[in-house]
């Protein structure tokens, strides 16, 4: 059963299904981002090298071989890097890696591919700081992370995709888990899927693999961890992407949690389930960094059979 803290949080989500004004949505996100309290042992500072509002989370005695890029969600139209600082701090503590939280241009003012371009810039900057870069994203940020992995598949060390939207075709928001999980979804309202699709794409086709990664050629992607809640509308996106990745020969790990609300991981340090999720993410990153995964070099040192 979920924790008492979980029950308290979801009690705040229940309200009208009516669309929220975009300005109010962004203001709410800014309020959430401002609630962050510094985590001992991890410093956070604004980054002048990337778009305004980007952060760098640095643990004590950071490792020099690895940097993480963590992309925030918000349906491509709201959200901000400040909101994911709790998760960024947990990952920095758990991996001893620096964590970049890039800000990117939002739709509808800046539709696709503006956000992808900004996230690619963040990856390329991260690659100047360490030889290995892990790409992580939550919700719409997981879509952007997948696009970055597709564009930088030969350079990225690994990808972690949290509660992502991986299929922006119109039918997606009228079938499957988007409608079947209406009674258990705590956060995503029915109108949000079609709205973000319109805002992000405009008149652009949704079958572009950088927009709908479930349609992409996933061969050659680095190891993936996909984490999602079985109670949320976007369940099918993660299940379908995991299946496609597995069929493409990608090392993929799927972590499905019951009960959780969409992107519960960003409440790390406050919500027990989010802290545990972040611990699992850090363990995956550490394993990959050490080569302990399928096809990993660290697994090839055992004795040979005569």
The Cα 269–Cα 286 span in angstroms is: 20
Check whether 267 has a pLDDT greater than 60.
yes
Quick one: pLDDT at residue 306?
Answer: 63
Q: What is the mean pLDDT of the chain?
A: 95
The Cα 115–Cα 239 span in angstroms is: 24
Q: Between 207 and 12, where is the model more confident?
A: 207
Quick one: pLDDT at residue 294?
Answer: 85
Residue tagged active-site, from 138, 185, 232, 273: 232
Residue tagged active-site, from 72, 125, 186, 262: 262
The Cα 75–Cα 138 span in angstroms is: 10
Quick one: pLDDT at residue 305?
Answer: 66
Instruction: Tell me if residue 125 is catalytic.
Output: no
Which H or E element spans position 150?
helix 140-151
Those residues with Cβ within 8 angstroms of residue 291's Cβ, 6 or more apart along the chain or in another chain: 297, 298, 299
What percentage of the chain has pLDDT greater than the value 70? 97
Joined tokens for residue 245: 């990745």
Per-residue pLDDT of 100-122, as tens digits, reads 999 999 999 999 999 999 999 99
Q: Supply the angle between the helices 272-289 and 85-95 in degrees, to the nearest 10.
A: 40
Q: Are 223 and 254 in contact (CB under 8 A)?
A: no
Instruction: Tell me if residue 232 is catalytic.
Output: yes
Q: Are 102 and 51 in contact (CB under 8 A)?
A: yes
Q: pTM score, two decimals? A: 0.96
The helices-and-strands tally (H runs, E runs) of the chain is 9, 8
Residue tagged active-site, from 139, 177, 229, 238: 139
Residue with the two structure tokens 């697994």:
299
Q: In what order do the strands lie in the sheet with 66-71?
A: 42-46, 55-59, 98-101, 66-71, 132-138, 158-162, 224-229, 252-257
Check whether 260 has a pLDDT greater than 80.
yes
Instruction: Tell me if residue 139 is catalytic.
Output: yes
Per-residue pLDDT of 42-82, as tens digits, reads 999 999 999 999 999 999 999 999 999 999 999 999 999 99
């Amino acid at each position: 059963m979920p924790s008492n803290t979980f029950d308290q949080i979801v009690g705040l989500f229940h309200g009208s299904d009516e669309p929220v004004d975009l300005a109010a949505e962004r203001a709410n996100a800014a309020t959430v981002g401002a609630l962050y309290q510094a985590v001992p042992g991890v410093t956070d500072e604004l980054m002048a090298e990337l778009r305004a509002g980007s952060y760098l989370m640095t643990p004590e005695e950071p490792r020099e071989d690895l940097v993480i890029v963590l992309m925030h969600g918000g349906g491509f139209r709201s959200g901000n890097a400040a909101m994911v600082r709790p998760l960024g701090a947990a990952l920095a503590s758990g991996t001893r890696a620096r964590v970049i939280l890039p800000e990117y241009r939002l739709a509808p003012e800046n539709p696709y591919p503006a956000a992808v371009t900004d996230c690619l810039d963040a990856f390329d900057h991260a690659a100047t700081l360490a030889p290995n870069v892990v790409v992580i994203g939550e919700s719409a940020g997981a879509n952007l992370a997948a696009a970055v992995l597709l564009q930088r598949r030969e350079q990225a060390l690994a990808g972690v995709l949290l509660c992502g939207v991986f299929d922006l075709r119109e039918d997606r928001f009228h079938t499957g888990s988007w409608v079947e999980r209406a009674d258990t979804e705590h956060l995503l309202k029915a109108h949000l899927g079609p709205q973000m699709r319109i805002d992000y794409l405009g008149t652009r086709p949704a079958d572009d693999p950088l927009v709908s990664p479930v349609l992409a050629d996933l061969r050659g992607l680095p190891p993936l961890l996909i984490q999602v809640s079985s109670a949320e509308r976007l369940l099918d996106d993660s299940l379908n992407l995991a299946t496609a990745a597995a069929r493409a020969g990608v090392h993929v790990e799927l972590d499905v949690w019951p009960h959780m609300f969409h992107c519960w991981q960003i409440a790390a340090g406050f919500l027990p389930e989010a802290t545990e999720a972040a611990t699992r993410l850090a363990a995956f990153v550490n394993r990959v960094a050490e080569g302990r995964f399928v096809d990993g070099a660290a697994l090839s040192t055992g004795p040979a059979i005569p």
